[in-house]
Chain A
Amino acid sequence: MIYFDNAATTYPKPFSVVSHSAISFFKYGANPGRSGHRMSMQTAKKIYGCREAASELFHCEPEQVVFTKNCTEAVNIVMKGILKQGDHLIISDLEHNAVYRTAEALQEQGIISYDIAETSNKDDETVAAFANLVTPQTKLIVCTQGSNVFGIRLPVEKIGAMAHKKGIKMAVDAAQTAGLLNIFPARDNIDYLCLPGHKGLYGPMGTGMIIFASDELPIPLCQGGTGSLSMQAKMPQFLPDLLESGTLNTPGIVGLKEGIRFVQKKTPQMLFQKEAELCDRLEEGLLQLQNVVVYSKNCNIDRSLPVLSFNIKNLPSVLAAQKLDEKGVCVRAGYHCSALAHQKFGTQKQGTIRVSLGAFNTKREVDSFCRIVQKLTKESGR
């Protein structure tokens, strides 16, 4: 099997992720942060270990790391918790539905208004597009750091700098970049960094995080037990307790720590470089094929991510992916939960076939994939 669907979730996971998650059911089976007995405290210490690992990777304090179930939940917590009645929001035209649908829902409920900034391949034009949409009511900008469909990287640091000059908060969707780029929220003008644990950080599915670099905290979406200040009716007003009501996903978080350690050991730079080389090889291979349209360009750390979209002429992308699956290749096709990105690229009719690479992919797999696609183009051309 060739697994090229790492933008959805990375596979396989490092062995240490699997083994530590599994062991947690035996060794760390008590509820962390609730009781005082030894197993509960040991479990809580393992959870704290993951906070520490994340704080090292993202250059923050452990208490600024809030666990969520995925990046979508992280984005929802920030958007719904920060935006108030009458606020204005700006998003980019490459956003995932996690951001787009949340913005739309908040507007439909009459809480906010929002605008979509047109991004460009020139950073200054992209920043200007955001700046031109700012109104006195603009409270928040939410922007993806990289498109999950076309791999285009956006200059969130520059957009954040513009936002901060105008007193606007900056949230970044790092679904495709966490683990591949060196992200330093406080340095990069990011107030809220939303990210999945199960993609570029190689943790189990069901894990995500928000990294806070701002003291302005969201109103929590969920209230409940935190194991702290229990006799008060109000939620504790400090992190991470404010946003972590209820029992945490211990097996997931224990595994996530190992995923983060894997990334730290390999380094985001080296992981990016390896995947970028594979992506370039893939693009080169696909461009040589007749009846193949490639939508992405050379993988460059300043401009793009190792994610590539293409189509085989006339063949619906979902059908092409099905045929690839029959030949042992896992890719995602269709719209990738990103309506805006497909509208921008004019691919809303056919969708695209997306290839997304990971740490365990090889040149051999890339070459095999290109041969399989070539065969498919010939079959579909008959």
Chain B
Amino acid sequence: MQHNTGYTIIAVTSLTYAFKGQKILEENGFKAWPSRDHERKTGCGYQLNVKGDAQKAREILKLHGVKLVEEGKR
């Protein structure tokens, strides 16, 4: 989801994956930071806020085993 402040939200399954994803993305030149996911309907959860090519960021995260939450299952 593209946020109106210019970053993309990528929902992850846990805070552990959020920190892992943040490190991986930063190593790949992205600016990323974790925060609580305010839109999560399945209950509490965390997200990664990513600046840059969101599609590429998702691919990198998946490649490194970071478990993402599909948009419909959020």
Q: A residues bordering B, Cβ < 8 Å?
A: 32-36, 41, 44-45, 48, 51-52, 61-63, 226-232, 236, 238, 240-241
Contact A44 B19 (CB under 8 A): yes
Q: Which residues of B contact A63 (CB under 8 A)?
A: 14, 16-17, 20, 65
Contact A229 B45 (CB under 8 A): yes
Interface residues on B, range: 10 to 19
Q: Given known contacts A33-B15, A36-B35, A41-B35, is B20 in contact with A62 (CB within 8 Å)?
A: yes
Contact A62 B16 (CB under 8 A): yes
A348 to chain B, nearest CB (A): 45
Contact A228 B19 (CB under 8 A): no
A209 to chain B, nearest CB (A): 14
Q: How far is the CA of A48 from the CA of B34 in the complex (A)?
A: 12
**Residue contacts A-B, CB under 8 angstroms, 30 given:** A33-B14, A33-B15, A35-B36, A36-B35, A36-B36, A44-B19, A45-B19, A48-B15, A48-B19, A48-B20, A61-B20, A62-B16, A62-B19, A62-B20, A63-B14, A63-B20, A227-B44, A228-B14, A228-B15, A228-B45, A228-B46, A229-B42, A229-B45, A231-B43, A232-B43, A236-B14, A238-B14, A240-B14, A241-B14, A241-B16
Q: Assess whether B67 is interfacial by the CB under 8 Å rule.
A: yes
Q: How far is the CA of A241 from the CA of B14 in the complex (A)?
A: 8
Q: Which residues of B contact A51 (CB under 8 A)?
A: 16
A199 to chain B, nearest CB (A): 25
Q: How far is the CA of A45 from the CA of B67 in the complex (A)?
A: 18
Q: B residues bordering A, Cβ < 8 Å?
A: 13-17, 19-20, 23, 34-36, 41-46, 65, 67
Contact B65 A230 (CB under 8 A): no
Contact A48 B16 (CB under 8 A): yes
Q: Which residues of A contact B67 (CB under 8 A)?
A: 238
Q: Return the chain A residue nearest B69 by Cβ.
A: A229
B40 to chain A, nearest CB (A): 9
